[in-house]
Structure 1
Amino acid sequence: MKLIGLAGWSGAGKTTLLAKLIPCLVARGVGVSTIKHAHHRFDIDTPGKDSWIHRQAGARQVLVGSDQRWALLTELRGMPEPALPELLSHLSPVDLVIVEGFKRDRHPKIEVHRAANAKPWLHPEDPAILAIASDTAPPAALPWAALDDAEAIADLALRYAVDAGSW
């Protein structure tokens, strides 16, 4: 299993890029999974549904299964936030895991930068950034692709991905 991250400030276009990047990779025969980091409370469960009721009642984990999909929800209930390697250990094997966020972690990353955000570049302070996807040329001599060129970014992702357990 290989791993590459997409890191950038909020509003840079990471999720929009992923929505274009995943189909490009899948069309090349690459099995893709993603891990998304959230900096806030989030809920993927619908209030009032059975799984939500189980969780609200105090269950630490709730697994929901059907003939279409299954999902495992885990409430930390005061436990520390799991690190990226632990989250990776819960994924089924695929060819490539794309990590959205976790910009402070040391895994290899492609910086996603949008000039209109007026945010500073991340790569000068992060040696784990190996390439750039941006709507403007980066100030450093790193490989880069235009933010709207999903095929070129797919090439970068495959080129710089590393074994998931090696970083």
Structure 2
Amino acid sequence: MRVYGVIGWKNSGKTSLMERLVAEITARGFSVSTVKHVHHEVDLDQPGKDTFRHRQAGAREVVLASKDRFALMVEHRGPEPDLAAVLARLAPVDLVLVEGYKRDSHRKVEVWRRETGQPLIQTGDPLVRAVATDAAGLALPVPVLDLNDTKAVADFILAEVGL
């Protein structure tokens, strides 16, 4: 499975770029799945709902299914799963775009905006293969892409993964 990351600091524009990339790449006929890493507690379920009650009773996995989609909730009740474990659960697709997991060992494009006040991650991570930014005049040892040119960022990622 081809995996490519979109990383950056909070409020840098990662999610907006991910949304545009998924639309652009799927419009080109490729299948795409996404993984979003969060640093806070997340629960898609609500107390009192049937699936919540199933999990509370001890079910390890609960699937909520309808005619349009299904959601698989896995209770791992342990340390946070690593990216490899998450990827292993996905159905095959042409490309998996990963938002976050910035310290993992997959190739990435960094979204960087000067106004966040954060340093570049690229300077310390050789797996950051390009920086997508709206800042002018950055001189880096990797390609600097226009954050607002979704087609160019998609072209770069697709070339990187051989699609």
Whether these two folds match at TM > 0.5 is yes
Q: Which residue of 1 aligns with 2:81?
A: 82
**Gapped regions of structure 2 (runs ≥ 5):** none
1: CA distance, partners of 2:73 / 2:23? 26
Q: Which residue of 1 aligns with 2:44?
A: 44
Q: Which residue of 2 aligns with 1:95?
A: 94
Q: Which residue of 2 aligns with 1:134?
A: 133
CA contact (8 A) 1:108 1:161 kept: no
2: CA distance, partners of 1:80 / 1:73? 16
Q: Which residue of 2 aligns with 1:56?
A: 56
The C-alpha deviation readout for 1:94-142, integer Å capped at 9, x for no partner, is: 0000010000111100001111101000001000100111111434131
RMSD of Structure 2 on Structure 1 (CA): 1.6
CA contact (8 A) 1:133 1:144 kept: yes
1: CA distance, partners of 2:80 / 2:149? 34
2: CA distance, partners of 1:56 / 1:146? 47
Identity of aligned residues (%): 46
**Gapped regions of structure 1 (runs ≥ 5):** none
**TM-score where L is the length of structure 2:** 0.92
Check 1:10–1:162 CA distance in 2 against 1; reply closer, same or farther (3 A cut): farther
Following TM superposition, by how much is the alpha carbon of 1:55 offset from its aligned partner in structure 2, in angstroms?
Answer: 2.0
The C-alpha deviation readout for 1:66-115, integer Å capped at 9, x for no partner, is: 211111101122x2222111111110000000010000111100001111
Q: Which residue of 1 aligns with 2:69?
A: 69
Q: Which residue of 1 aligns with 2:157?
A: 157
List structure 1 runs of 4+ shifted beyond 6 angstroms. Answer: none
**TM-score where L is the length of structure 1:** 0.90
Corresponding residue SS for 2:51: helix
2: CA distance, partners of 1:130 / 1:56? 43
